[in-house]
Amino acid sequence: ALKTSYSPYSKFRVGTAILLADGEVILGSNQENVAYPSGLCAERVALFAIGALRPGAVIKRMAITAQTDNFEIKKPVTPCGACLQVMSEFEQRQDEEIEVIFYCIGGEALKVKGIKSLLPFAFLEDRLVG
């Protein structure tokens, strides 16, 4: 997934691979735009592709990694708040925890079971009803 990253400005490539319950793997990579807020993170690229192309598919596992030419990444990179929010809603919709693996190329890995442990106070649908 890192190979398809479009990150000419930051040179910070992020890739994610998502394993679905049926065994299919969906890839996502960060996509930058010269107008920075217009880009998308790798996690949301992959998740929104699943939402559009495989509605109802169950996500079992996500693996996320990053790479840059600017410096050595020594620790696993975790998702931004916006990605965690989207991941949280996907997990809630499928009513099954998603395992997430954060991998540092040439370094350590971190494994987490369930998005709730990463974003315990996610804004979810039940907050919108009275």
φ/ψ of residue 119, rounded to 5: -140, 75
List, as one string, the DSSP characters of 65-81.
EEEESSS---S-----H
In the DSSP assignment, the letter for residue 57 is: P
What is the 8-class DSSP label of residue 58?
P
Q: How far apart are CA 12 and CA 30, in angstroms?
A: 9
Which pLDDT does position 124 carry in this prediction?
84
Domain boundaries, the chain: 2-127
Q: At what angle do helices 81-94 and 42-53 cross, to 10 degrees?
A: 30
Q: Report yes or no: 30 and 39 within 8 Å, Cβ to Cβ.
A: yes
Summarised one tens digit per residue, pLDDT across range 111-122 is 999 999 999 999
Q: What is the pLDDT averaged over residues 63-75?
A: 92
**Which amino acid, residue 24?**
E
User: pLDDT averaged over the chain?
Assistant: 95
CATH topology of domain 2-127: Cytidine Deaminase; domain 2 (3.40.140)
What's the pTM? 0.93
Q: Rounded to 5 degrees, what are φ and ψ at 92?
A: -65, -45
Q: What is the mean pLDDT of the segment spanning 35-43?
A: 96
Active site residues: 43
**Does residue 130 carry a pLDDT above 80?**
no
Answer for the pair 83, 45: CB distance below 8 angstroms, yes or no.
no
